[in-house]
Structure 1
Amino acid sequence: MPHKNLEQAGFDEMNLSPDVFAALQTVGYETPTPIQTKTIPHMIACKDLLGQARTGTGKTAAFALPLLSRINLKNRHPQVLVVTPTRELAIQVAQSFSDYGVKMKGLNVLAVYGGQSYGVQLSQLKRGVHVIVGTPGRLMDHMRRKTVCLDDLTGLVLDEADEMLQMGFIDDVEWILSQIPQSTQIALFSATMPAPIQKIAGKYLKNPEKVIIRHDSDVTSTIQQKFWLVKHVKKSHALVRILEASSHDGVIVFTKTRNDTMGLTKILEEKGFKAEALNGDIAQAARERTVNRLKNGNIDILVATDVAARGLDVDRISHVINYDMPPKTEPYIHRIGRTGRAGRSGEAILFVQPKERWMLKRIENATRRKVEEIALPSNREINKKRMDDFKNKITQTIGTEDLSAFTDLVETTAKEQDVPIAQVAAALAKMLQGNTPFLLKETAEKPAAKKTAKKPEKKAKAPVAPRQKQTPDRLRPNKISPTEEGMERYRIEVGYKHGLKPGDVVGAISNESGLESSFIGNINIDYDYSLVDLPFGMPKNVFNLLKGTWIRSQKMSISKYAC
């Protein structure tokens, strides 16, 4: 009988220990994800592994399940070490090990990270631990103090290695790798493979098996990406409207600064949303409580900075809103990867300033998906959502609560006041709502009235000299209009002596860069050169592309204009 393909194998065919397999049934895992089917057999066989996969693909289980299956519970020294870039991720990964090892009697898992008392960590280490998950700095401290002994280590995992590189921990990681026993199995996981990560893999991993989860299996395939073009409406007001009109569970709103997290959280709370801020100024214990409140449904919206949200893993996230544009495509992908996990669908909404359309194009290229433009919800849509939500709450209460005492009270009140029961119910709803209007005003759009004007009486015209053909202002040489806010001025080496027209400039730039014509600003055409205003922050690759673009049989040779 032919051997079954490993990539078609279920958890029951992966040689996991009976206790680990039993735990999978407890947590409800049935079918392995692609990275799990490709990784677990190699890890079980004690081979080093180099895995490339983005967040949300199930990689924690991919390394935790096989490593737990080999642990000797009688040995109270650390046998597994996982290095993570952030304390949040360390806590998440440690919890996953505990969940997958729930049937392993006496298993001890410890998360070590900065911001937590040394005393708590030292007391647990003295009692003995089997698995340590930690950040580089605190791990190094324990190793130098000899409070962590890694002589019995059998497996080490570097999780989110590219994040560690970005955060400046790569030298610390190398030091840790240099201290472990030569026989230790090493698994390195990273969303991207920049040269320094490849160098570490080449230096410390022994003939590693390579597992790559391609973009077509990426988490972005389960995420509906949308953007709202910022104009005429305050961003905070727009956010409230979008949240009001959407059916969401957990939401993460990303902002640039710590102050923004606090200010925006206050606005959302005033509008009745259950929101909290998460930023680097908040103490670690308070941050952990906030994340747990989001997990448990005590709050629905987290307003966070990138740094504070690193490693955040909460299953109930249905929406990620990029309130501020991330500086690069990679943080954007990491942000939206916190929704649409494990095959579930998610929604990502990006707020885009007109001058940021360049970055939107780069995001579409990086995710290989079109980002759909959305309009702000109308008052009518918001009112419908409010009414639907109100009716759903009534339906749920009718189906789950004992209402007999209130039924008698409503009926008695209706008889005493000689009014219909519906009026009493409406009064109760008004009491609950308070003075805030339940519905927004809906203004019907009226068609514009047709203007009728009397035709002027024809008068005899005095003879005049023939008029010279006028040159439009933006074509008139040497009359240069000021640059608009959010735009930059560029010079191209083509002018009206070459027969250049504005449409030529617009067509060439739109076709080559993908920038819509409506975002191309003033065009001033002179004799042998022209000036054109484009959104601020043109990417280098687009700039180089435009340099070699031809218009009217002339190279554009675009350059920054210095007035």
Structure 2
Amino acid sequence: MSFDTLSAETAENTEAAVEETEELRFADLGIDGRVLAALADVGYEKPSPIQAATIPALLEGRDVVGLAQTGTGKTAAFAVPALSRLAELHDLNGPSRKTQALVLAPTRELALQVAEAFTSYAKHMEDFTVLPVYGGSAYGPQLSGLRRGAQIVVGTPGRVIDHISKGSLDLSELQYLVLDEADEMLRMGFADDVEQIFQQTPEGRQVALFSATMPSQIRRLSKQYLNNPAEITVKSKTTTGANTRQRYLQVMGPHKLDALTRVLEAEEFDGVIAFVRTKMATEELADKLKSRGFQAAAINGDIPQQQRERTVEALREGKIDILVATDVAARGLDVERISHVINYDIPHDTESYVHRIGRTGRAGRSGDAILFMTPRERYLLRAIEKATRQPVEQMHLPSAETINNLRMGKFAEKITETLASEDVSVFRDLIASYEVEHDVPAAEIAAALAVMAQGGRPLLVQDLPPAPEFQKRERSKDGFGSRGPSRPLTEGNATYRIAVGRRQRVMPGSIVGALANEGGLSSAQIGGIDIRSDHTLVELPADLSQDQLRSLSRTRIGGELIHLELDKGRAPRSEGGYKGRNDRGQGGFKKKFDGDRAPRGGEREARYAGHGDGARKPRAGKDSGHRDFNRKGKW
């Protein structure tokens, strides 16, 4: 591979030039006017170092390998030149309904974020469609979108391969291929999928590969599939304010709203900005907070400027306390009373994180930044800490006891305030009359009135289930010499079997990535993973829908179909362990030797030539995977 490197001397010089040239603007980079207008609409004027170094190379038609920490403005670095090139092609050849740019992302969340960015940058381009495709969502809308025509497709590797296989995604006119967060994609086990997609693209397509690191797999991909790429390395220089305390809270997606409510109840705050990723999420979260008694409002790119200004002014004057916003909508926002920034959705871009928490802790004031994170998003936290060169301390969710004490204290305070400030004589007479007429103690009447005052909202809360930590699971040898699950099943879960294991060199990360992206599962729904020689046992919800089962059964890991199915094997050791040859525990399976037939294991049957000396081992893939015969025919 002949890298024309802009790292080392050249990249540093490029970065220095960007920093020294204060007047360098996007308009100086040769970008199409329609794309420039869209950049101006979202408030972008000056390119970041990665953008200043990358956009000219891509506009020249060069393949590029961009090395930068997660985010750092990479999305615009590849989206802006791609859209500029496609705009020019449309002017020359007329609109095309074929896919001309394909962006691969490791997760559906990142795919959605990239698709939203492309959509905003293509705002002034006519007859132009951006379509996200990813696992966990129905095929129907995606198929319809591809039939109608989408010039830009942003997707996860597994779902992109599915559409290529179905013939619904035609890459024959592809001009531009992007791999975003390539190292993370490979870490999640998508290496074979990515290579398969490369092989389906035309020879002359331009490639932009962005990665935080340069492992050997990335080098090999670049050498094999990129044409004399320019390697651009720009180090992030983003730092966060010293007056801002940074904390993270590990919480699963379904519990985020409850967690946010408890944080707001337990923390002393003035004004709050809660950042989410999508426009729709701003409205949804603001409505849910209002229903819980908070003064909240939403701003996003679809809200007219005049209304946005009124909302920000209401926050500034204290008429609302919580603003739910997207990154674009909050750009340039400066409200003195902001004491807390809540990253309700973790940003994929470290610069976005810095810009977000920069809304607090200004001009010598202290501020708090709290980041909500699932275990699966831990790599993004590491990227943030590395880019900002500052640790983010872990915080723990306020306990139910703490919240309940606070709520009961506030309820008592309201009673005291009402007695001191309101004329309650009418109600006092009403209660006295009710007490005599119905022979009910006044305390019971007051309790009933308190329930009425709550309006159906529970006063007390219960502790939320803790978010699982990613850790090495303890495994135990069972009576068969294989490795069994280390803990009983969580209530509502079942054990499923997938047809890849150690022989296929699968890793837990690749399994989690495939199940989450193609089955629409959250990491909270994926329990124990037990990788065996030729298959893997995974704990998943017992009530997976038929659509999820079909989607997961067609999923590939390392290029192999996983053939997901319910496992009928034994129970975990902690639920009874090995009980002898005639008891398989969970599933009720009993081993019975009948002539030369071996028992059924799970849903598969293993056949043997005999069970005395010299008995053959079962054929690969045909046994239950829980044990092997030895040469004496014994377990």
Q: What band does the TM-score fall into relative to the shorter chain?
A: 0.3 to 0.5
Flag the structure with larger Rg. Answer: 1
TM-score (norm 2): 0.43
TM-score (norm 1): 0.48
